[in-house]
Amino acid sequence: MSHIFFARELEGVVTWWSIKRRDGVSLGFTSHNQNLAFGDMIYRAAPGMIPSAIRRTASLERDAVEVEGVLSHNSISQKDLEAGRFADARVAIGLVDWETLEHATLFHGTLGSVSQEDGAFSAELRSAKARLEIDLVPRTSPTCRASFCDYQCGANAARFTHLCPVISVDLERNSVSFAGAPHAADMRDGQVKWLDGALAGVTMQVIDADAAGVVLDKPLSVEVLPGQLAYLREGCDHTISTCNTRFGNAVNFRGEPHLPGNDLLARYPTSSG
């Protein structure tokens, strides 16, 4: 039989919170003033965490959750937040009796976008119901809807992924150059996944590339040093021309490049005289 919380006037109940990142790192916190260990995890004391509202409904609308203070814990660094290490992390929130360690889960979901305001970080919490809002019906588009080298694209990821060491870093330009990197034109819209150093495990998107290196969408660190390794995945602009001429993969193109657009509907007949 599950534990019934708040059945008595005085009860030792606190909130717990767990974050499981995509890179395998798991963190646990509790609003208690001492660490608690249950469910194969240690939940660190974080009295500043304030659960203001957790609302669960039977409808299909996503549940509302408001929690303040958890992103200010010492184990969550500003550098990791800015690098996107917590993006799409799995989140669980619940209650625990600090004497018996009986616990229950009130919320399951994922961590959404993280923003910074007045020196403090805040994050959007998306409940599991958010998956119901995903539109599974494909829409027509002139460009390919598949992600490069995924199962729909069919391109061999090993062929377009390169292990390269860092040559130099330009923090002002937020760019980095690699030894043995593909041609700059091939790296546009690609990605860089760091294997060691301060950014190990972080994946960054390439927003521009030239002879000086690749410009990335997330801030680089002074701790990125020459010799550090990263996987470089070439990019694709998702056009039928690139798919056909560069990759020879037009048979797997997931788009409708020759479908007439809305301008066809706006046309009207004119007199030829």
Residue 111 β-bridge partners: 125
Q: What is the pLDDT of residues 86-116, one digit of tens each?
A: 878 888 888 898 888 888 888 888 877 666 6
Q: What is the pLDDT of residues 120-154, one digit of tens each?
A: 666 667 776 666 666 677 778 899 999 999 999 99
Q: pTM of the prediction? A: 0.68
- Report CA-CA distances (Å) from 40 to 26, 27, 43, 234, 241: 11, 12, 10, 40, 52
Least confident stretch, 134-143, 158-167, 177-186, 217-226? 134-143
Class at the top of the CATH hierarchy for domain 157-252: mainly beta
pLDDT of 1 higher than 50:
no
Residues with Cβ within 8 Å of 188's Cβ and at least 6 positions away in sequence, in order, are: 206, 208, 209, 235, 237
Greatest Cα pair distance, the chain, in angstroms, is 92
- Residue ranges per domain, the chain? 13-131, 157-252
Say how far apart CA 94 and CA 78 lie, in whole Å.
25
SS3 labels along 162-186: EEEEEEEEECCCCEEEECCCCCHHH
